[in-house]
Amino acid sequence: MLIIVVLALAGLGLLLLWLSWRSQQAVGLPVERVVYSDTGQTRRVEDTLVSRRYGLVGKPDYVVEERDGPVPVEVKPTRRAETPYLSDVLQLVAYCLLIEDAWGRRPKRGLLRYAEHTFAVDYTPEMRQVLLETLDEMRGQMRAADVARDHEEAGRCRACGVRAACDQRLQ
């Protein structure tokens, strides 16, 4: 009887491992140890990564532990593009900066998963600087009294949360 229970538990453990592996493959994660997830599956750290030094907070979808350190992973399951959007790249670089500051470990790269492609984004000093300059520019615009709206994309304007009160909205 004890052998049957042990075999059943071993079988259940193998099934759970296989399901975890399939789940990682389904979202394009490398087959590495997931140490953080904002998807409700795994949590080893606080829900939100915080950097008081840079005034930045964020929640990467995943952080996987590779041999050379942590790798943040951002999943955009409906996005289809041959090259990653700059906004998505900067979001991923922000997660690298957060991990570096909050965990004291500098990622070498991050992964950006679109519906059909996974892009590796190197976390270089140049990318870090582009992020910091972008954050400074954004903070400056937030403090400005009058900021011209960017209406290059009609779809964004239609979906804007303050559209009803905006005197610059597109028709």
What is the mean predicted confidence (pLDDT) over 82-101? 95
What range does the domain containing 108 cover? 30-142
Mean pLDDT across the chain, nearest whole number?
79
Buried b (16+ CB within 10 A) or exposed e, 75-114: bbeeeeeeebeeebbbbbbbbbbbbbbbbeeebebbbbbb
CA-angle at 94, arms to 122 and 66, nearest 5°: 50
Domain count across the chain: 1
Domain membership flag for residue 159: no
Domain membership flag for residue 14: no
Domain membership flag for residue 151: no
pTM: 0.69
The span from the CA of 22 to the CA of 5, in Å, is 26
92-145 pLDDT, tens digit per residue, is 999 999 999 988 999 999 999 999 999 999 999 999 999 999 999 888 877 876
The span from the CA of 132 to the CA of 98, in Å, is 12
Domain membership flag for residue 15: no
Domain membership flag for residue 171: no
Domain membership flag for residue 98: yes
Could you give the C-alpha distances from 89 to 15, 68, 102, 109, 114, in angstroms and in order?
Answer: 35, 21, 20, 11, 12
3-state DSSP call for residue 35? strand
DSSP state of 82: S
Return the higher-pLDDT residue of 32 and 4: 4
CATH number assigned to the domain comprising residue 112: 3.90.320.10
What is the mean predicted confidence (pLDDT) over 72-82? 92
